[in-house]
Structure 1
């Protein structure tokens, strides 16, 4: 199979409210695509030329644009951005909050197979078009809506609150100790976001005292044991990543060694309903076993172990999901996650940093864009372009992007071409 190179990309500032700016989908797409093409050194005229030869395609990740912006057929919408996209194969991919990763997977597969030489992947979501309660209801379609979300206010905080309950029960954790560790995760990601110029919460305040005081005016309870400090953000935003074959590296005079490659990937789907997921985990040491399997698939395909990974970007839609990801990655054994958090192993300066970008809690979570944004952050760290939040050591990075209550699980390992 052919190598898949990562040329780079772009991300919008996740702190923006596009509706308040009087801007919509086309403005969002045009900005991120313009910036992305500039960053990778490709022009719209180049796109036209590659299209004449049938060597380029576009893949769009979006969860639920039909609800948030009353628009479907989102792959074809690129033709409204620039006429260079006339005739370019493009389509929208959806898997709830893992929609961006499905689009990445499609693009990676097409290049590996030799079908295209350049693939542009764009993930986006505009979520601030509605009030928070309506937003929560829309997002409930990522669960089994009829039984897990319909007529339930903010269903996902409740589902991931149940994950917290089940984690405490499975590993016999002390409630306070567990919740204090979730508070440390929240504060870590808020602090990391302060370094990231595109993070939604870069100017927000959070400390451990506030994060621990759930059920108060400054940190209201949002689902089960979880408070608002444990929750990712409602976000407008887009991310762009360009993937290529070696032919493009040569034609566009890129420094081959400067472009990371995709080394491993995993994709597993767990039962849709949360109750069924918990039944699956009863006799398994992992609380979310299919997530662990997606991680193991990526390690196997990359011929790597956790020891080879320098940093991680993970789907912290809630602190309870990042907690579970620590053992899923293999950073610790299941039930030992408390030790990793308490020792700052996963902190920015720790041996195994998790979410140096700020993650979904700090950076933001425009659901269709999050997978692409995480992938872009792997690229930034590997090429020393993570301005303000660059890690000292970054040779191989891994990401985990989940859709629903860890229903769709996607992992990617990106590293330097050796």
Structure 2
């Protein structure tokens, strides 16, 4: 698999589009032209577009996002388009569909856009809309906030299986916000945290559900991200025209994509005797390693991993092989998040923000910037290979990408 990432863009995740009286149309009309300029391609060259989005119908009443994309960017009139939904992995599944189009030879240049408008409602309504990605009518039935409740169950299960020190979750959150403070597009870049904000102080860091506290949880975010993906033939001609060396262009060199039982309880029951808490997550990671021809995390220079909650990030660290099962907390305590394998230099979902349908696309965009040395204030020195790990639901859909130069 070799798909070239020619360029991309994201919106400022600190913005509240509803307060600006702007919506999905304006998200498309901002991020897509910026991505086209960054990739130095014309809309007329785009053969196919893929849109990632979870819940536009619930938040805005709008479906048919492929048509809305063309309404926002008239130069795309006539392009083939499809919308993809896989909860928080919607953007990554859109990326995979675009890659399949390019590899099949149907098209040579693909646009992938992820969008989500979520701050146009109150927090409770937003939580209910997002709960549609859980098993409706079967889980989190009594919870005020479905996803914190479900991931608190993950934390409880992990604690029973291995033991869980809350200090390790707090350290993960603190690192996320520290990284985000350097990111000019991060939702939390101007936030401040008094001493004690990442511990068990009920005033500074109140309990949300179970072991999870306020700063363990990703926030409601508005935002969009877009990338332009190209076949080897298109990329070669593009490089020739622009006097570029293809060796300096990011490529998607491997992927993993697996899906498990929709319900969290169903997944945990099936994995009760497995080596890993979420075998499908481990499988998607090892699939990506194998397809990219790398042995494991020692071949990576950074990871952009899914941390909708701190426990999600801790679990992901173990499943990508940075730490053994049950040892993710100690890995964090030993400085692993900033060591040989930097974790979420962007700030991740907790610090940068999590506009659900855009997250997988944003991860790819940031990974591509990192391996080409164009990530600016958040650049990891010498980065050449990165991995993105994007999760939809309670580890229901998992997509991993290896991005290299």
What TM-score does the superposition give when structure 2 sets the normalisation length?
Answer: 0.96
Instruction: Name 1:209's counterpart in structure 2.
Output: 196
Instruction: Name 2:102's counterpart in structure 1.
Output: 111
1:398·1:411 contact (CA, 8 Å) conserved in 2? yes
Q: Deviations over 1:213-270 (max 9, x none)?
A: 25x1221211111001000110000000110012322333343112111111001111
Residue 246 of structure 1 pairs with residue 232 of structure 2? yes
Instruction: Name 1:39's counterpart in structure 2.
Output: 38
Q: Distance in 1 between matches of 2:384 and 2:340?
A: 13
What TM-score does the superposition give when structure 1 sets the normalisation length?
Answer: 0.93
Instruction: Name 1:267's counterpart in structure 2.
Output: 257
Correspondent of 1:141 among 107, 120, 132: 132
1:398·1:413 contact (CA, 8 Å) conserved in 2? yes
Query: 3-state SS of the aligned residue for 1:340?
Result: helix
The number of aligned residues is: 400
Q: Distance in 2 between matches of 1:184 and 1:299?
A: 28
Correspondent of 2:355 among 345, 366, 374: 366
Runs (4+) off by over 4 Å:
none
Query: 3-state SS of the aligned residue for 1:7?
Result: strand
Instruction: Name 2:384's counterpart in structure 1.
Output: 395
2:169·2:329 contact (CA, 8 Å) conserved in 1? no
Q: For 1:299-318, what aligned pairs fall within 5 Å after superposition?
A: 299-304=289-294, 305-318=296-309
Correspondent of 1:376 among 351, 365, 371: 365
Correspondent of 1:286 among 261, 276, 281: 276
Q: Distance in 2 between matches of 1:167 and 1:152?
A: 20
- Deviation of the 1:180 alpha carbon: 0.2
Q: Distance in 2 between matches of 1:125 and 1:194?
A: 23
Instruction: Name 1:29's counterpart in structure 2.
Output: 28
Q: Deviations over 1:93-116 (max 9, x none)?
A: 110110000100000111111111
1:144·1:272 contact (CA, 8 Å) conserved in 2? yes
Instruction: Name 1:97's counterpart in structure 2.
Output: 88
Q: Distance in 2 between matches of 1:382 and 1:315?
A: 19
Residue 189 of structure 1 pairs with residue 176 of structure 2? yes
- State the superposition RMSD in angstroms: 1.3
Instruction: Name 1:14's counterpart in structure 2.
Output: 13
Q: Distance in 2 between matches of 1:395 and 1:207?
A: 36
Q: Distance in 1 between matches of 2:158 and 2:113?
A: 35
1:260·1:379 contact (CA, 8 Å) conserved in 2? yes
- Deviation of the 1:332 alpha carbon: 1.2
Q: Which runs of 5+ in 1 are unaligned?
A: none
Choose 141-150 or 15-24, whichever is displaced more: 141-150
